[in-house]
């Protein structure tokens, strides 16, 4: 029943076409067959995004310590493509998990990716230096190997909570019939 409900949601089922921090094209289909923890944010975020990416990275590290578990691919999609080009993403992501991929694209491509996950993002007013903050949805999404959204984690969830939940999903996972 849960799988049928998830499929009916159509949340995250759309494909995206973005580029990673190395400039390579990436699509959602590239991650099919993998477990994915996905976060939308921006590199100029003063506090929330670094905290959430740190938590996501730590959850992946906790899962990596457990023998026999499949790897989890950490993904970060920008909501600020104006400032977050591939080079900016590469510099920013050095501080997090070594396999964390950062994805960016044109404003239209980024908006389409966010739309597929019902991500809200809105740039605030610019200050005298031209800097601005982007208000956005703060969730970490879990995608199963079939690419389907399985769960999400808000700010109140710790890395340990996320790792436990992902483990439970891995233990009970059954691929959806086509």
Name the region of 88 (left: φ>0; alpha: ψ -120 to 50; beta: rest): alpha
Structure tokens at 50: 């670094």
Counting every residue written for the chain, the total comes to 178
Has 152 been labeled as part of a binding site?
Answer: no
Has 49 been labeled as part of a binding site?
Answer: yes
- Kindly write down the DSSP assignment for every residue of 62-76, as one continuous string: HHHTSTTPPPEEEEE
Closest to 151 in 3D by CA, of 8, 11, 1, 4: 11
What is the rounded distance in angstroms from the CA atom of residue 74 to the CA atom of residue 62?
Answer: 13
What is the rounded distance in angstroms from the CA atom of residue 158 to the CA atom of residue 78?
Answer: 22
CB atoms within 10 A of CB 174: 8
Binding site: what residues are annotated?
Answer: 45, 49, 136
Name the binding residues for Cu cation.
45, 49, 136
């Amino acid at each position: 029943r849960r799988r049928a409900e998830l499929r009916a949601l159509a949340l995250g089922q759309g494909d995206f076409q973005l580029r990673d921090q190395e400039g390579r094209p990436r699509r959602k289909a590239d991650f099919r067959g993998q477990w994915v923890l996905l976060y939308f944010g921006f590199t100029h975020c003063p506090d929330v995004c670094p905290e959430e990416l740190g938590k996501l990275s730590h959850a992946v590290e906790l899962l990596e310590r457990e023998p026999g578990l499949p790897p989890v691919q950490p993904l970060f999609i920008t909501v600020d493509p104006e400032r977050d080009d591939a080079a900016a993403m590469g510099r920013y992501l050095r501080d997090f998990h070594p396999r964390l991929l950062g994805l960016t694209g044109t404003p239209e491509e980024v908006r389409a990716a966010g739309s597929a996950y019902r991500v809200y993002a809105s740039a605030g007013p610019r200050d005298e230096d031209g800097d601005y903050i982007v208000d956005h949805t703060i969730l970490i999404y879990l995608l199963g190997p079939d690419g389907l959204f399985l769960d999400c984690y808000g700010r109140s969830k710790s890395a340990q909570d996320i790792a436990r939940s992902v483990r439970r999903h891995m233990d009970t996972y059954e691929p959806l019939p086509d």
